[in-house]
Homo-oligomer: A and B are copies of this chain.
């Protein structure tokens, strides 16, 4: 089980197939493989030993994928750097896993000085890109040009493949360790459950490659030996343009991206009918968004994939549950059943399995679970107990094994002794025709401990006030679940993965309180 074996198969069987297409630049697997084998040789030549961590700081591109494969081909371990992070955060992650070589694309060269100045051990820096290489940096293109291709180092199985740093929204970032085996398992599961085809697959990678969702989907495409299309980041118009121009068949989107796509004023100007499959995940989707997206993309099979950085492909809800039948049965709101070969269970605070239908913490066991956190044995032991990864997500399971993610447990609001799950309230608010986006948090309340608070973004030109929203909510949910206060904003703060940063929303409310921000 090795990521490079997948590439070798493409070089052997389909050398002329397009491997990558990025901003008009296309190359086939022969060329891609040749560049990878040379870059691997060049990285070895500047000191990358088997098992060494190599960082990649750059926007999504064909070069990013070359670097990832070259690191593995040469026996190294990839550290995909979060591009949204500040220099101190980046330095923390590089120092934490002792990254000795850092590749940086044109967009981030200006951060190199700060990184070098503050890192415990300044990494060697290689400039990846089309612009001029700044003084003091190595040029990746020159290295590839001069290097001789080397043989695949054949890292596989339990050999560490990457260290993915998690959000860092609370406490210190943690480096999630995935091996070639765990990545391979995630890919094979995805392919077995949601097969590509018929016909060639062209996947657009728009979710950031430094996140498990982005890199995981890219690796699926490598394992299948099909074509990658890359855009630097999410821009709804560019995504639609690219789908049309490249004949994209597959795309993974987070809900906020999907929403931006279908609410874009030029949506009707693009032909998107090459799209066959759309996988969404990473954060809860409002039912209204999902239903509208399905109506606007009628030929597309929708799959909900639920996973974490610590475990890709935990559950998946197939297209069959997204139609009218799924809406009628309620299964369209499920995260699906456990992936093939994956075990999940829902436990209560004492660790016992809850009855079906009851909410508890979701646990996962299987070949898709990380090996642990880099250099944090205690955190690892807390996360993985007796083989079970504790997701921190609240969920319930129906009698047929369908999992419904209720909320991040830490997002749960306890108000007057009642548990309120933000997602449930958000789903109701999102149904209001004037609502573009929303987030529900707990804010401190003298009487109830916490009160339900809604942050709402109105659609352009739409009007909605506190009373209107309260009336709407009361139609659908119990009084204690309805927001006690509402705040209207222009936009919600989003993480790189498109998740709403609830911590930022909560902070001002909890400042000065004795209890920490939850």
Question: Which positions in A face B, CB cutoff 8 Å?
Answer: 1-2, 5-6, 8-9, 12-14, 154, 156-157, 181, 184-185, 188-189, 191-192, 195, 223-225, 337-338, 340-343, 365-367, 387, 400-402
Whether B401 contacts A188 by the Cβ 8 Å rule is no
Which of A6, A366, A367 has the most CB atoms of chain B within a 10 A radius of its CB? Answer: A367
Whether B224 contacts A341 by the Cβ 8 Å rule is no
Q: List 21 A-B contacts (CB under 8 A).
A: A1-B181, A1-B341, A1-B366, A5-B341, A6-B340, A9-B337, A9-B340, A9-B341, A12-B338, A12-B401, A13-B337, A13-B400, A13-B402, A14-B400, A154-B387, A157-B367, A188-B192, A191-B191, A192-B192, A195-B195, A224-B340
Complex alpha-carbon distance, A342 and B4, angstroms: 10
State how many angstroms separate the Cβ of A350 from the closest Cβ of chain B: 18
Q: Which B residues lie within 8 Å of A366 (CB)?
A: 1, 5
State how many angstroms separate the Cβ of A82 from the closest Cβ of chain B: 29
Neighbour of A191 across the interface among B12, B223, B340, CB < 8 A: B340
Complex alpha-carbon distance, A387 and B387, angstroms: 30
* Known contacts A192-B195, A400-B14; A342 and B5 CB within 8 A of each other: yes
Q: Which B residues lie within 8 Å of A154 (CB)?
A: 387
Whether B195 contacts A343 by the Cβ 8 Å rule is no
Which of A154, A184, A189, A401 has the most CB atoms of chain B within a 10 A radius of its CB? Answer: A401
| Chain B, residue nearest A338 (CB) | B9
Neighbour of A341 across the interface among B6, B195, B340, CB < 8 A: B6
Complex alpha-carbon distance, A367 and B5, angstroms: 10
Q: Which B residues lie within 8 Å of A157 (CB)?
A: 181, 367
Complex alpha-carbon distance, A453 and B498, angstroms: 70
Which of A13, A191, A195, A338 has the most CB atoms of chain B within a 10 A radius of its CB? Answer: A13
Complex alpha-carbon distance, A13 and B400, angstroms: 5
State how many angstroms separate the Cβ of A492 from the closest Cβ of chain B: 35
Q: Which B residues lie within 8 Å of A401 (CB)?
A: 9, 12-14
Q: Which B residues lie within 8 Å of A195 (CB)?
A: 192, 195
Complex alpha-carbon distance, A222 and B316, angstroms: 18
State how many angstroms separate the Cβ of A15 from the closest Cβ of chain B: 9
State how many angstroms separate the Cβ of A197 from the closest Cβ of chain B: 9
Complex alpha-carbon distance, A423 and B301, angstroms: 44
State how many angstroms separate the Cβ of A398 from the closest Cβ of chain B: 10
Q: Which B residues lie within 8 Å of A185 (CB)?
A: 1, 188
Complex alpha-carbon distance, A367 and B225, angstroms: 17
Which of A9, A365, A366 has the most CB atoms of chain B within a 10 A radius of its CB? Answer: A9
Q: Which B residues lie within 8 Å of A13 (CB)?
A: 337-338, 400-402
